Amino acid sequence: MAIIEVEMSLYEAILARRSVRSYTTKKLEKGTISSLLEAAIHAPTAMHSEPWGFVVIQDQQLLNSLSDKVKPTLLTMMHHQHQKLLKLSEQFADQDVNIFYNAGTLILICGNTKLNFYEADCWLAAENLILASTAMGLGSCIIGCALPILNLVEVKIKLGIANKFTVVAPIVIGYPSDTSDIRSPTPRRRPRILSSIPKGITN
């Protein structure tokens, strides 16, 4: 399989990664998706179980339908959260707002619940996929609020997800509508080192 050429080193991708919440309507090409999934399955896996399975959704009508299903649940959650989420909840109350930020591709990383450590393995695969997308100049965002809806029996049947699998990581991937800030670093606190043995080893 041909691997898509990347635009940065792994370390640069780690530092450049950010959650992108505005996309063009352009869909990912088949080769790009194949490269992203190839990166995902090369993640570490406990006991070499490889418990993951993938669903790729590029049908805009289906994405809009899923977004409409998620928004009422999301608004209920936000209603009981901190005051600062009120503005965001008002935004999602808008009928035209799409929780997938109008990205053309949604990738669901699903885990086989019959295998040990499936959730951890799936999140490691998600990290690989996200870093690969950053290195390719693409944007990504984890849509965790969609999980309750995506794991409804009727939705899983519609998406072709077998009963033994559960959706662990829903990730939108696409072309950012504003590329000027895609590589802007996300501020982080310095590492919190709880202890160092021997003392001073991290100095």
The DSSP 8-state label assigned to residue 195 in this structure reads -
CB 6 within 8 A of CB 126: no
Evaluate whether residue 188 is within a structural domain. Answer: no
Residue 3 is predicted with a pLDDT of 61
Q: If DSSP codes are grouped into helix, strand and coil, which group holds residue 159? A: helix
Evaluate whether residue 103 is within a structural domain. Answer: yes
CB 32 within 8 A of CB 140: no
Residue 35 is predicted with a pLDDT of 96
Evaluate whether residue 187 is within a structural domain. Answer: no
Evaluate whether residue 113 is within a structural domain. Answer: yes
Evaluate whether residue 61 is within a structural domain. Answer: yes
Domain range holding 158?
10-177
Read off the CATH number of the domain in which 120 is found: 3.40.109.10
Residue 184 is predicted with a pLDDT of 63
The DSSP 8-state label assigned to residue 198 in this structure reads S
Distances (CA, A) of 191 to 16, 109, 152, 188, 194: 17, 29, 38, 9, 9
Evaluate whether residue 111 is within a structural domain. Answer: yes
Residue 49 is predicted with a pLDDT of 94
Evaluate whether residue 192 is within a structural domain. Answer: no
| Residue-by-residue pLDDT tens, the chain, 203 positions | 556 666 678 888 888 888 999 999 889 999 999 999 999 999 999 989 999 999 999 999 999 999 999 988 766 665 555 555 545 545 555 556 889 999 999 999 999 999 999 999 999 999 999 999 999 999 999 999 899 999 999 999 999 999 999 999 999 999 999 765 555 666 888 988 888 888 877 65
Evaluate whether residue 173 is within a structural domain. Answer: yes
Total domains, the chain? 1
* pTM for the whole structure: 0.85
Residue 25 is predicted with a pLDDT of 84
Residue 183 is predicted with a pLDDT of 53
Residue 160 is predicted with a pLDDT of 97
